[in-house]
Structure 1
């Protein structure tokens, strides 16, 4: 018997509170497969799996990716 796992879904407002990126950037990351995909709940309402978003944050923290400093050139 498979263990039942409960999933917590978050709406766009909560996602944007967690991830300080604009909606367009998040959408572009999703399209490139670099961010958890949104889940269509209805034709006008979407959500994200909280565990997937938290995993994405942890991966970013441990990846060592560093943003270029302003004026340093990339």
Structure 2
């Protein structure tokens, strides 16, 4: 029999530079989030070529947008500028 000519789903991968354009996070932040299971995992196409599945990254972005809308993302605390050692703000 021949190969199935109708693709089930078009799978597209992106390299690090393309990922940086889509997700404006530092490489170290992405790596840490991957280790915690909070970001899609990278995989190797070759021994020197690392890629991410574009569909997984887009689904992650959609989930983050939805979570942001429901206020379920824990935000960093606002710094108290009066406690700064250098040039504290006076009121």
The TM-score bracket by the shorter chain reads 0.7 to 0.9
Runs of 4+ in 1 over 6 A off after TM superposition: none
What CA RMSD, in Å, does the superposition of the two structures yield over aligned residues? 1.9
Residue by residue over 1:14-69, the C-alpha shift from the partner in whole angstroms, topping out at 9 and shown as x without a partner, is 00111111101101100110000002111111111111001101111111325336
Q: What secondary structure is seen at the aligned counterpart in 2 of 1:41?
A: strand
- Greater Rg over alpha carbons, structure: 2
Q: Which has the higher contact order (CA 8 A, sep 6+)?
A: 1
Q: What secondary structure is seen at the aligned counterpart in 2 of 1:61?
A: helix
Q: What TM-score does the superposition give when structure 2 sets the normalisation length? A: 0.69
- Residue 4 of structure 1 and its aligned partner are, at CA, apart by 1.6
Instruction: Kindly report which structure 2 residues correspond to 1:1-74, keeping only aligned pairs within 5 A, or say none.
Output: 4-63=8-67, 64=71, 65=73, 67-68=75-76, 70-71=78-79
- Residue 70 of structure 1 and its aligned partner are, at CA, apart by 4.0
Gaps of 5+ in 2: 1-6, 81-91
Query: What count of residue pairs does the alignment treat as equivalent?
Result: 71
